[in-house]
Amino acid sequence: MSEGKLRVGVLVSGSGSNLQALIDACAAPDHPAEIVTVISNRPGVRALDRAKAAGIPAVVFDHKNYADRTSFDADMQKALDAAGVEFICLAGFMRLLTTAFVEHWSGRMINIHPSLLPSFKGLNVQQRAIDAGARFAGCTVHFVTPEMDVGPIIQQAVVPIHQDDTGDTLAARILVQEHRIYPACLKWVAEGRVRIEGERVFLDGANYPDAALHNPSSEPIG
């Protein structure tokens, strides 16, 4: 255990490329956060291998073994408490959480979503953005509130939609940006620089005025 670091639990369901980006960022000795547990609702997913490779304890709660969301969330809560988790990152966690769980973690749980919220909530959002004729897509890191894919936005990154894009090619382009902004947001939170005011988030001490707007450039984030 590292003294003074924010103790983070990451919830996953799949490939875990965002988990990997968070692991890589937290590996820096002076990083203010530490991933202390990874929880998956699906057995056998690649995210679990990534946790193992990084030496992070990982737990599976297979949602198929649960009669309802309340008992599933209760088991997750116990595991998070046992690991001393102070803050949660949802990283491709594809399961709805109960209002009680979300309210317990209010202001202490963030999510990454592969669209420019509040547009395209839910599933299959990359293809839906293409089908809608949108010219830009992107990703959003936001605090989690009981309504799905709603909550104060910390940062967004924009990518173009090309004429020949498929859902997969667009998803890959967005993922590159996800892997940039998610670690940046976690770092800001762990540094205590993120302030929620109503529906809006402000970043204290940003080193340029549009730090929370990533469009995307090679500018350092922060």
Catalytic positions are 113
Q: Which residues make Cβ contacts (< 8 Å) with residue 55, sequence separation at least 6? A: none
Q: Minimum distance from CB of 98 to ligand GAR (Å)?
A: 17
Buried b (16+ CB within 10 A) or exposed e, 99-138: eebbeebeeebbbbbbbbbebbeeeebbbbbbeeebeebb
Return the residues of window 79-98 that contact ligand GAR according to CB under 6 A. 91-92
Closer to ligand GAR by CB, 121 or 193: give it. 121
Which of 11, 87, 137, 178: binder of ligand GAR (CB under 6 A)?
A: 178
Binding mask 194-213 for ligand GAR (x = CB under 6 A): --------------------
- Kindly state the number of chain residues that form the binding site for ligand GAR, as judged by CB under 6 A: 14
Cα gap 194→108, rounded to integer Å? 11
From 13-21, 27-35, 76-84, 98-106, give the range in contact with ligand GAR by CB under 6 A: 13-21
Which of 8, 11, 18, 116: binder of ligand GAR (CB under 6 A)?
A: 18
Sign, CA dihedral 207-208-213-214, equals negative
- Whole-angstrom CA distances from 24 to 12, 18, 35, 106, 215 are 16, 10, 10, 26, 23
Asked whether position 50 contacts ligand GAR by CB under 6 A, the answer is no
Whether the upstream peptide bond of residue 57 has omega within 30° of 0, thus cis, is: no
Cβ proximity of 35 and 8 under 8 Å: yes
Q: Minimum distance from CB of 4 to ligand GAR (Å)?
A: 27
Closer to ligand GAR by CB, 32 or 114: give it. 114
Interface with ligand GAR (CB under 6 A): 14-18, 47, 91-92, 112-114, 149, 175, 178
